[in-house]
Structure 1
Amino acid sequence: MQDLSFKPKAFLFDLNGTMINDMEYHTQAWLTIMNEQLGANISYDDVKKEMYGKNHEVLERVFGKDKFTAEEIKTLSFDKEKRYQEGYFPNLELIAGLDIFLEEAKQHHILMAIGSAAITFNINFVLDGLKIRDYFSAIVSADDVEISKPDAETFLKSAKALNINPADCLVFEDAPKGVECAENAGMKCIVLTTTHKIDEFNIYNNILGFIEDYNDPIIKTLFK
């Protein structure tokens, strides 16, 4: 658990559920499409369990690998993202305390990057909608990797883009697969409890602590 002696040189952020609390809107968008358009008869909780990786991977896990053509997947993915953005836009905001945390990190000359399974379209929606793009020196999206989380590629590419050793990076995540990605990359992690329960992370050994938001006292120790 918490290791107050660790002083990271870079912060790597997942996006959904970590910087913004929007996973409910992603899940609801998929739920509507899967049940109303595709007749899956799947529950909200079951959709939530499949909410990691790229859109085509989500569809393949639920419906099988050969169910849809590439063009159909592209159309379904666009529909899902449109539904998500329309639903979430009126509530678009950073998780509490993150605005101050980003500014503090900048003042302490800590490099920051986003390493997310979100597509560039959705990352731009958040960064430009909240006007926080200038805080980040690198962005690695689903469009930039061959293999999704929990493979280490996303966070390793983020560290490489910052020219920082992976062991000197601290990852902020909200999902078990994201924590596993960080562990596979040799990185420590702080977990936001926005999406998953603490006991869902019991198998991971790289977690420094759990926080509800960025006002948690753990955050202050990172700058001392």
Structure 2
Amino acid sequence: MPTDQSYALIFDMDGVIIDNTDYQAEAFQLLFREHGLTTNARHLLERLNGMPATAILKTVFQHPVPEKELKRYADQREFLYRVIYWDKRQELAGLRKFLEAAKKAGFKIGLGTGSAPDTIGYIIDHLHLRPFFDVITGAADVEKGKPHADTFSVVSQKLGIPPERCVVFEDAVLGEQAAYKAGMRCICLSTSVDASKFQNPMKIIKDFTELVPQDVLDLLEQHPIVPKPDKQRAKRKYMKLQ
């Protein structure tokens, strides 16, 4: 059972467990082309990555689109993404070694993603990573996805570890904001956006070869205060925060 001395590591999936943003963008771009949209998908994801696909899609149409239709478009994008990414699935460099060391060091480990259960399985079961996670939370488990705090808050509750003892690994600006809203500190990965886009992570890494579990404990001591969320940082073109 967790104790008051336990710490938790909470991982986003896309851009953290795997480096797949370019493939996600390609799938969005193909969908946009089919519907005559000229939005640059890569730039769009730099701003909105981490939000549910339907919420991202809602921002690119100039006219209201029914939720049922948005869901159909999101399903099309998911199919395109899986076809494109099928033979490319691999974990980020150093991830498995880091997870093994974190488990051995006594960290609780959670996954907090905006993906649906079948998409989570498409990645973590293919890579045989599920045994590393004590808790997995996805789109089906929360009412509001990122940039709201729910995803990470639910992981924290299920792990039995208070937010101030949780560290989130994120690659997205909105994911970093969600961590701070949940009362957690954050380590960011520069897989999806330039490092300068982040607000105030404890550290920015390119992959998990740059970190060992003891580093996380050292960073927590060096950064005792959780940053307050910066709404202006998340309010970018195409953004519609609730």
Backbone CA RMSD of aligned residues: 1.9
Q: 2:12 aligns with which of 11, 14, 20?
A: 14
Displacement of 1:55 in angstroms is 1.7
Question: Which residue matches 1:23?
Answer: 21
Query: TM-score by structure 2 length?
Result: 0.82
Question: Which residue matches 1:70?
Answer: 67
Matches within 5 A, 1:49-88: 49-63=47-61, 66-67=64-65, 69-88=66-85
- Counterpart AA for 1:9: Y
Matches within 5 A, 1:100-139: 100-139=97-136
Question: Which residue matches 1:162?
Answer: 159
Alignment coverage as a number of residue pairs: 213
In the alignment, structure 1 segments of 5+ residues that lack a partner are 1-6
Distance 1:160 1:10, change over 3 A: same
Asked whether the equivalents of residues 8 and 222 of structure 1 are also in contact (C-alpha less than 8 Å), the reply is no
Question: Which residue matches 2:40?
Answer: 43
Asked whether the equivalents of residues 30 and 47 of structure 1 are also in contact (C-alpha less than 8 Å), the reply is no
Distance 1:60 1:172, change over 3 A: same
Once residues 158 and 99 of structure 1 are traced to their aligned partners in structure 2, the CA distance between those partners, rounded to angstroms, is 20
Q: Deviations over 1:69-120 (max 9, x none)?
A: 3332232222111111111121111110001011111112211111111222
Percent identical across equivalent pairs? 29
Asked whether the equivalents of residues 8 and 169 of structure 1 are also in contact (C-alpha less than 8 Å), the reply is no
Asked whether the equivalents of residues 98 and 211 of structure 2 are also in contact (C-alpha less than 8 Å), the reply is no
Query: TM-score by structure 1 length?
Result: 0.88
Q: Which 4+ stretches in 1 moved above 6 angstroms?
A: none
Once residues 198 and 46 of structure 1 are traced to their aligned partners in structure 2, the CA distance between those partners, rounded to angstroms, is 15
> Aligned to 2:125, what secondary structure does the other structure show?
helix
- Counterpart AA for 1:11: L
In the alignment, structure 2 segments of 5+ residues that lack a partner are 219-242
Matches within 5 A, 1:173-184: 173-184=170-181
